[in-house]
Copies of this chain bind each other. A is one copy, B any other.
Amino acid sequence: MQNPVTVEVTRGRLVESRHRGMGVVVDGDGKVVFSFGEAEAAVFPRSACKAMQALPLVESGAADAYGFGNVELALACSSHSGEDAHVATAAAMLAKAGRDDTALECGAHWSSDQNTLIHQARTIEKPTALHNNCSGKHSGFVCTCVHAGLDVKGYVEYDHPLQAEIRGTMEALTGAILGHQNCGTDGCSIPSYAVPLKGLAHGFAKMVTGSSLSPERARASRRLMEACMAEPFYVAGSNRACTKLMEVAPGKIFAKTGAEGVFVAALPDQGLAIAVKCEDGTTRAAEAMIFALISRYFERGGEVQTKLLSMANKSMRNWNGIHVGDVRVTDALFA
């Protein structure tokens, strides 16, 4: 099975670069509604599965105990740009549990968003762990540990009880067996497990439909997804794909990106979830693929579909604002 070319990047009249990808759309029962490429191949979801990793925060009662609302829960599922509001919210979450940024084990980095980096360079000497794009998730981890009486130190380690619980949660959702054999280390130092793309999509379909989940897990899943859809800025940030995508149709699209060309989405009204992976790990292609795939499930020619297709087929302009080419999706996504 070859991954088809799903996204082309043009210049003038020619195709300059092309991306191959795989994708799958499933319902709550795991039935494949649409797929292309190696839909059963094992992929690292990376940050795309943060809403799964945030389930213990809600299920343990920590989120309620600390009074977390949509903003905090969205940030717990986020890969944020390190904008001031993201940083402040992560700090406030830690403060609720009596901790500060010294408890975070994610490492520090400057924002990868240019405007935010310029702002950071002008206002701080250097970034802390609160500026790390994963600081919301890690603040949620710390709060979960404190509330549950677990050692906070070492919460990123494979053998820590929190990571063991996340592993079990992800196994139940994705149907995959997770262990050292398919485990890598993520950018923020927690374990990241390669799972079949179809299993990843099925996990999100279970979360958005409640299918085959306990009432508690179904409630926690919907609460996290609804928080993200209600506060999309806190899931990513200004001009970011996840944020813009969830703003297209408030409450109707949950979406989360992951490094190396992964993107997942869940559609509550349709009871479907989607997972894509760009073979070469490029974000521009993963974005175009998820925009196009989501558009299939909205009214033909309607406002939402039109907006999504205009995001999937994007005109590129140079430093002088001249149109130089396009990023466009291929028929492989519309077979």
Contact = CB atoms under 8 A, between A and B. Distances in A.
Interface stretch (A107-115, A143-151, A242-250): A107-115
A332 interface: no
A181 interface: yes
A169 interface: no
Nearest to A5: B279
Given A17-B280, A260-B17, A282-B282, A324 B185 contact: yes
Interface residues of A, number: 52
Contacts of A108: 319
Nearest to A126: B118
Contacts of A78: none
Nearest to A277: B17
A105 interface: yes
Interface stretch (A187-195, A207-215, A299-307): A187-195
Contact of A182 (B14, B105, B107): B14
A287 B189 CA distance: 26
Nearest to A320: B107
A280 to B, nearest CB: 4
A279 B17 contact: yes
Question: Can you tell how many copies of this chain the complex includes?
Answer: 2
A4 interface: no
Interface in A33-57: 42-44
A122 B122 CA distance: 6
B185 A281 contact: no
A16 interface: yes
Interface string A1-26: 00000000101111011111000000
Interface string A160-189: 000000000000000000000111111111
A118 to B, nearest CB: 4
A32 interface: no
A322 interface: yes
Given A14-B194, A182-B14, A319 B132 contact: yes
B260 A16 contact: yes
A249 to B, nearest CB: 30
Contacts of A121: 117-118, 121-122
18 contacts: A12-B184, A14-B194, A17-B261, A17-B279, A17-B280, A107-B320, A107-B321, A109-B319, A110-B114, A110-B118, A114-B117, A121-B121, A121-B122, A185-B318, A187-B318, A188-B318, A189-B318, A279-B280
